[in-house]
């Protein structure tokens, strides 16, 4: 096995998942503002440190995706974050896209920027310790979207990003997110996710990406929030696994899910339903941000005296997801996260 495959194997290790801690400073600002937490480079550092240093988290955490600011930060004792993670056997990663801008001529659709100078940036990130990267494109679903234009523009770009990563010894995570925040029903979500993933794979092959050294990060397939419908975990598992099996070749290194604004319980229960369906052609795990962070961020509230409690909440949420990916999560055991989640949401 080569270096890329070793990294894939470490990230997809059976009882673990990834933390997406790569919110841009602008996104972090929105989330901190909503909770009245001052947002500075120092409070963002303290927050990310709180997550990464949660006692025992290495048992369930395989990798952490950083933002450019965060990969350069250090723990209180001066240990750079990437080195801290490596010392715990957790793989450091980096979000390298530069975010979304409007796609001209395609109202309501976006294109992800960040290819210019990327080879050089990847070399620096590798030096800093990153062994995998993430690039996200976002697709909103409506009667008129996603268009072929936005799919082609975004997925060509994503495939090019993947080649640059692999040349730099870095595993690319390719993330074409289908936004959950839309009016789509379950069958429309199914159809859109399948078309996007199929075109993504076609582009990756066209650009000669080594699929075994690549990870797909996808939305679960579920009815959009504005549709008014709620998809049951069984429906989510059924549709998600049909789409993945249709679109993703068995040679792909792995599949990870984003949570996309689902509640922590919803994301966990859907993951559990997916995990319960047994072995798939590729290992599957989670790479959540909001579904493991929101209750912990609320409990932390920017105060050092809350760190231990917030870490406990984050630990339990991550542990639950690590069990769920194997179909092994059991509610109401010691460590049932629902108590933590509702306690923290009420506070």
Quote the CA–CA distance of 220 and 260 in Å, as a whole number: 9
Q: Does 170 bind ligand 13P (CB under 6 A)?
A: no
In the residue annotation, 235 being an active-site residue is answered as no
Q: Which residue of the set 23, 109, 175, 323 is catalytic?
A: 175
CB atoms under 10 Å from CB of 17, counted, come to: 26
Q: Does 140 bind ligand 13P (CB under 6 A)?
A: no
Buried b (16+ CB within 10 A) or exposed e, 241-258: bebbeebbeeebbbbbbb
Q: Does 288 bind ligand 13P (CB under 6 A)?
A: yes
Among 4, 11, 12, 20, binds ligand 13P (CB under 6 A): 20
Quote the CA–CA distance of 139 and 97 in Å, as a whole number: 15
DSSP-derived secondary structure for 71-108: HT-B-TTS-BHHHHHHHTT-EEEEE----EEE-TTSTT
Q: Which stretch binds ligand 13P (CB under 6 A): 123-131, 242-250, 253-261, 331-339?
A: 253-261
Q: Does 260 bind ligand 13P (CB under 6 A)?
A: yes
Q: Does 318 bind ligand 13P (CB under 6 A)?
A: no
- Quick check: 174 and 214 in contact, CB under 8 A? yes
Q: Which stretch binds ligand 13P (CB under 6 A): 32-40, 97-105, 195-203, 282-290?
A: 282-290
Q: Count interface residues toward ligand 13P (CB under 6 A).
A: 11
Q: Which stretch binds ligand 13P (CB under 6 A): 72-80, 120-128, 252-260, 295-303?
A: 252-260
Residue 316 CB, shortest distance to ligand 13P, in Å, is 17
In the residue annotation, 30 being an active-site residue is answered as no
- At which residue do the structure tokens 């990756």 appear? 204
Residue 151 CB, shortest distance to ligand 13P, in Å, is 18
Residue 289 CB, shortest distance to ligand 13P, in Å, is 3
For residue 22, report the phi and psi dihedrals to the nearest 5 degrees.
Answer: -115, 25
- Write down how long the chain is: 347
Quote the CA–CA distance of 221 and 244 in Å, as a whole number: 10
Q: Which residue of the set 16, 217, 298, 319 is catalytic?
A: 217
> What residue ranges in 258-321 does DSSP mark as E strands?
284-288
Q: Does 218 bind ligand 13P (CB under 6 A)?
A: no
Peptide bond into 146 cis (omega under 30): yes
Q: Does 47 bind ligand 13P (CB under 6 A)?
A: no
Residue 66 CB, shortest distance to ligand 13P, in Å, is 11
Among 49, 289, 311, 344, binds ligand 13P (CB under 6 A): 289
Binding site for ligand 13P (CB under 6 A): 20, 136, 175, 258-260, 287-291
């Amino acid at each position: 096995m080569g270096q890329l495959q070793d990294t894939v194997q470490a990230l997809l290790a059976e009882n673990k998942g990834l933390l997406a801690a790569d919110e841009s400073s602008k996104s972090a600002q929105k989330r901190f503002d909503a909770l009245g937490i001052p947002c500075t480079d120092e409070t963002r550092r303290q927050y990310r440190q709180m997550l990464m240093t949660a006692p025992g988290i290495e048992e369930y955490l395989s990798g952490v995706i950083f933002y450019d600011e965060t990969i350069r930060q250090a723990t209180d004792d001066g240990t750079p974050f990437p080195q801290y993670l490596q010392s715990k056997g957790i793989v450091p990663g980096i979000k390298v896209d530069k975010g979304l801008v409007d796609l001209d001529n395609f109202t309501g659709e976006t294109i992800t920027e960040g290819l210019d100078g990327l080879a050089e940036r990847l070399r620096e990130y590798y030096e800093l310790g990153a062994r995998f990267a993430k690039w996200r494109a976002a697709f909103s679903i409506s009667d008129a979207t996603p268009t072929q234009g936005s799919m082609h523009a975004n997925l060509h770009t994503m495939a090019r990003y993947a080649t640059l990563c692999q040349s730099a010894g870095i595993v690319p995570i390719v993330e074409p997110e289908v936004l959950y925040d839309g009016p789509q029903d379950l069958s429309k979500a199914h159809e859109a996710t399948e078309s996007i993933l199929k075109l993504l794979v076609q582009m990756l092959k066209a650009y000669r990406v080594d699929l075994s050294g690549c990870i797909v990060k996808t939305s679960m397939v579920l009815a959009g929030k504005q549709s008014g419908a709620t998809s049951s975990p069984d429906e989510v598992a059924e549709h998600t696994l049909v789409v993945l099996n249709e679109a993703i070749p068995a040679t792909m290194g792995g599949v990870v899910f984003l949570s996309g604004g689902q509640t922590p319980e919803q994301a966990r229960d859907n993951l559990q339903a997916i995990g319960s369906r047994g072995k798939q052609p590729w290992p599957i795990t989670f790479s959540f941000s909001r579904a493991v962070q929101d209750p912990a961020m609320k409990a932390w509230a920017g105060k050092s005296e809350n760190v231990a409690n917030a870490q406990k909440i984050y630990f339990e949420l991550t542990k639950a997801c690590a069990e769920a990916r194997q179909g092994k999560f059991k509610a109401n055991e010691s460590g049932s996260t629902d108590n933590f989640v509702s306690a923290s949401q009420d506070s």
